[in-house]
Amino acid sequence: MTKKKEEFIPLKGNRVSMFVCGPTVYDDMHLGHARTYIAYDIIARYLRFKGYSLFFIMNITDVDDKIITRAKEESKEPLELAKEFEKRFYEDMKELGINSINLFVRASEHISEIIEQIKALLEKGYAYMTETGIYYDVTRFPDYGKLSHQKYEKLIVHRIEPDPTKRNPADFALWKKEKPGEPSWSSPWGKGRPGWHIEDTAMTTAYFGPTYDIHGGAIELVFPHHEAEIAQAEAATGVKPLVRYWVHTGLLLVEGQKMSKSLGNFITVRDALKKHSKDALRLFFASTLYRSPIDYSDYKLDVAERTIKSIKASIASFKALKEGEKGKELEEIARKLFERFIEAMDDDFNTPVALSHLHSLISEMNKFMEKNNEINNSSKRYVLNVVNKMLSIIGIEEEREFDEDLARNLISLIVELRAKFRKKKDWDTSDWIRSKLKDLGIELEDFRDKTRWRLVKGSKVIVGE
């Protein structure tokens, strides 16, 4: 909004509310999405590392023209098609190690909030109805264009399909009246479905209130999407600003070109992960500042892969050092490099600079190991702790050992807890526990007097009662 770095001060003490535009689930996630969502995952990890209590919401657009078009092509129900791609989206997010989002919210499940917001806009005179739908009159909102720093006259040029019933070419749809074969919901204006922009502000107003801390998304969403969000929310609630800090991720290019299906350089996350590891992808993305453009190539990913391997090899050798006396100096170096890492991250999440301090630390560890084959235990622990913290902020995690006994005991405990809810006939809670366990790969089977559980972990199947 201000086109410069701003000091970050959350609205409510130590609490941070963040919303990031999620996918329209009509196709598989591509590398552009991966770049954006990994950037916010790192931002979320870092905010939590700094001690903020972050609530991070992402929307799932499961009602949209693109979904309807593809569903028609495949002779499927639009909502069914959306559900399939939403499932694949979660699978991809998991493969990318993106696990910082507290809540995914579907547009189709927030129709009543959307209707409320449109009602407010109609009552206040910001919206009008025609025979095709309800539109936002952008000439009624003098701030329109304040995020993208554009004048109204310029905005008109961007419109692709002007609806002849609209007052002004730049007006956008809030509600689209029902057309045959499209999903629709009842509303005070007859059956129809929401426009795209309104879902985000209906959700954020419901979950966060009229103002919240951070709104993220890819740079191409600034106009018209985020501009429309500001117009909707600030007009409907009467509170300014909708968002205290706008954060946008830069473009992803593939070997110097914009990624597109017509150019044949369209890469899905699934395809990328067949060739490269999640850690290499994350290291590659983090090597560029989130808001700068980034140029993807297989060659660069191969380089990232080798870097990851050498980092992991250094850590493994370092762990194998025997107990000895030396290491205080290295511990001091690690302390300083970690401070600089944090300074870089504090400066607008500057991951490339932060990573340079990780690389320095690894090279210092290598130098240490050239001269020594032993280290004192507390320095060893400290250095490893610093490396692990740096890596976990970037989202490159060490392979964790699986503690089967602990897993078994925890699952039994949760199943026992669920039995207590069942005894009290609290079916909502017991079903919620079942579905949450299912997300973790733990299946339950209820019998009259017991519940059997089953966890598949790699090639291992663990069962219990």
Give contact residues for Zn ion (rule: CB under 5 A). 21, 200
| Min CB(20)–Zn ion separation in Å | 8
Residue closer to Zn ion (CB basis): 227 or 305: 227
| Min CB(226)–Zn ion separation in Å | 7
Residue closer to Zn ion (CB basis): 41 or 200: 200
Nearest residue to 245 (alpha-carbon basis) of 102, 40, 395? 40
In sign, the C-alpha dihedral spanning 203, 204, 208, 214 is: positive
Provide the 10 A C-beta neighbour count for residue 303.
15
CA atoms within 13 A on the CB side of 302: 3
Provide the 10 A C-beta neighbour count for residue 461.
9
The residue nearest Zn ion at its CB is 21
- CA triple 375-379-385, angle to 5 deg: 120
Residue closer to Zn ion (CB basis): 21 or 122: 21
| Min CB(220)–Zn ion separation in Å | 11
Residue closer to Zn ion (CB basis): 215 or 418: 215
| Min CB(371)–Zn ion separation in Å | 54
Percent helix, percent strand, percent coil in the chain, to nearest 5: 50, 20, 30
| Min CB(101)–Zn ion separation in Å | 14
Nearest residue to 131 (alpha-carbon basis) of 169, 179, 87? 179
| Min CB(388)–Zn ion separation in Å | 34
Question: CA–CA distance from 321 to each of 68, 146, 334, 362 (Å)?
Answer: 59, 58, 17, 15
CA-CA-CA-CA dihedral for 228, 234, 240, 241, to nearest 10: -30
| Min CB(200)–Zn ion separation in Å | 4
φ and ψ at residue 258, rounded to 5 degrees = -65, 140
| Min CB(147)–Zn ion separation in Å | 13
Interatomic CA distance for residues 275 and 270, integer angstroms: 9
Residue closer to Zn ion (CB basis): 21 or 393: 21
Residue closer to Zn ion (CB basis): 182 or 200: 200
Residue closer to Zn ion (CB basis): 54 or 228: 228
Beta bridge partners of 56: 18
Interatomic CA distance for residues 407 and 409, integer angstroms: 6
Interatomic CA distance for residues 72 and 78, integer angstroms: 8
Residue closer to Zn ion (CB basis): 21 or 67: 21
Cβ-contact 212, 185 below 8 angstroms: no
Residue closer to Zn ion (CB basis): 194 or 327: 194
| Min CB(39)–Zn ion separation in Å | 16
Nearest residue to 200 (alpha-carbon basis) of 177, 178, 227? 227
| Min CB(133)–Zn ion separation in Å | 19
Residue closer to Zn ion (CB basis): 21 or 138: 21
Q: Is cis: bond before 352, omega within 30 of 0?
A: no
Interatomic CA distance for residues 449 and 412, integer angstroms: 15
3-state secondary structure of 372: coil
Provide the 10 A C-beta neighbour count for residue 407.
16
